[in-house]
């Protein structure tokens, strides 16, 4: 134990007595008095600890745009009164499955199509996605349905090819603080969907967004997708505190991913409605024609009928009906 103070100081002596009550033995290795030109120096008065200031994020700060910013992708507007509903499969498995899902999303009133062509899987043996072939399928689905597409980019080397096919680039939770990727994605000029890391503080999330805006790209949408806690009944814990807090502190639109937050299909609709009530301006959910046969995240994917139910309830829920 290091003690910053003189052993003769009554306050230090009192502290040592308290430590002694908790330890078998306390050994003081040294206690030295300071002298300058023969004069004894008294111990300096205690000063309060210096607390680290909050990260400086001037570009995303709410005061910069008090009314909130809007991000437009074709006819879809994040940050407007109408909630944005993004849906699609976790992974683009094949063209037939994707087109069937895209048709159902468009028919139910979805605004954008999601789908993973490059998949960051926990296990190296899990399905990793179709790559460029999957991107082409996404582009075909857009032409067929008119839905803009959003898909994840995993590394800066892939930014150009993903940006060629996608209308919006997603930075996943695992890459939230991949600063090289953030810069490269920002420079693509495409709108960015920035997911919060599973263990990231709100300040860190906002700072990641600051990286993108600092590169000259103002079109950033934040996405709360659950954080890791001690609770294991669900995949993660949806942090609705963050939705409210972020809306107070930044002008950027924020949406919620209830699928990854819960990891449980039956919770997706209730969490979706709760997210909109908390102020989220949109949702991104996973949908699959046959979740039991999905190559990834089937347990949290809505089937087409459940998605239609969600879509019918989302817009009334946003306006308080």
pLDDT at 80 over 50: yes
Q: pTM value? A: 0.80
pLDDT at 36 over 50: no
Do the beta carbons of residue 137 and residue 100 sit within 8 Å? no
Give the pLDDT of residue 17.
76
Give the torsion sign (CA, 209, 61, 222, 139).
negative
Query: Where is pLDDT greater, at 77 or 231?
Result: 77
Give the pLDDT of residue 59.
97
Query: Where is pLDDT greater, at 46 or 91?
Result: 91
Give the pLDDT of residue 127.
65
Name the percent of the chain in helix, strand, coil, to the closest 5.
Answer: 40, 15, 45
pLDDT at 301 over 70: yes
φ, ψ dihedrals at 255, nearest 5°: -120, 175
Count of alpha carbons within 13 angstroms of residue 198, beta-carbon side? 10
pLDDT at 125 over 80: no
Residue extents of the structural domains in the chain: 1-51, 62-318
Give the pLDDT of residue 35.
45
What mean pLDDT comes out for the span 107-130? 82
Give the pLDDT of residue 137.
97
Using CA atoms, how far apart are residues 87 and 139, in angstroms rounded to an integer? Answer: 15
pLDDT at 129 over 90: no
Average pLDDT, the chain: 88
pLDDT at 134 over 50: yes
Q: Which residues on neighbouring strands pair with residue 168, listed in sequence order? A: 150
- CATH of 62-318 among 1.20.1090.10, 3.20.20.370, 3.40.30.10, 3.20.20.70: 3.20.20.70
pLDDT at 295 over 70: yes
Instruction: Dump pLDDT digits (tens) for 303-317.
Output: 999 999 999 999 764
| Contacting residues for 191 by C-beta, under 8 A, at least 6 apart | 71, 73, 167, 168, 169, 217, 219, 220, 221
pLDDT at 31 over 60: no
């Amino acid at each position: 134990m290091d003690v910053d103070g003189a052993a003769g100081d009554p306050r230090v002596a009192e502290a040592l007595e308290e430590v002694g009550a908790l330890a078998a033995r306390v050994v003081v290795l040294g206690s030295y008095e300071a002298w300058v030109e023969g004069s004894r120096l008294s111990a300096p008065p205690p000063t309060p600890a210096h607390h680290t200031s909050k990260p400086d994020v001037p570009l995303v700060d709410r005061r910069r745009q008090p009314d909130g910013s809007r991000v437009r992708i074709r006819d879809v507007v994040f940050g407007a009164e109408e909630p944005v509903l993004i849906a699609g499969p976790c992974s683009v498995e094949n063209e037939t499955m994707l087109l069937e899902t895209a048709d159902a999303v468009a028919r139910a009133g979805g605004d954008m199509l999601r789908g993973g062509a490059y998949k960051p899987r926990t296990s190296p043996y899990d399905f990793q996605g179709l790559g460029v072939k999957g991107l082409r399928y996404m582009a075909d689905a857009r032409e067929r349905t008119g839905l803009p597409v959003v898909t994840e980019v995993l590394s800066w080397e892939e930014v150009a090819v993903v940006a060629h096919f996608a209308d919006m680039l997603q930075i996943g939770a695992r890459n939230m603080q991949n600063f090289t990727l953030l810069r490269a994605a920002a420079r693509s000029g495409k709108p960015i969907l920035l997911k919060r890391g599973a263990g990231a503080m709100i300040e860190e999330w906002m700072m990641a967004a600051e990286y993108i805006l600092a590169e000259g790209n103002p079109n950033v949408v934040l996405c709360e997708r659950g954080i890791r806690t001690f609770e294991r009944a669900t995949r993660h814990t949806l942090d609705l505190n963050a939705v409210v807090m972020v809306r107070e502190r930044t002008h950027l639109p924020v949406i919620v991913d209830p699928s990854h937050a819960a990891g449980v299909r039956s919770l997706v609709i209730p969490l979706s409605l709760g997210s909109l009530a908390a102020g989220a301006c949109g949702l991104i959910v996973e949908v699959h024609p046959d979740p039991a046969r999905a190559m990834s995240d089937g347990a949290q994917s809505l089937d087409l009928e459940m998605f239609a139910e969600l879509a019918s309830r989302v817009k009334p829920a946003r306006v308080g009906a």
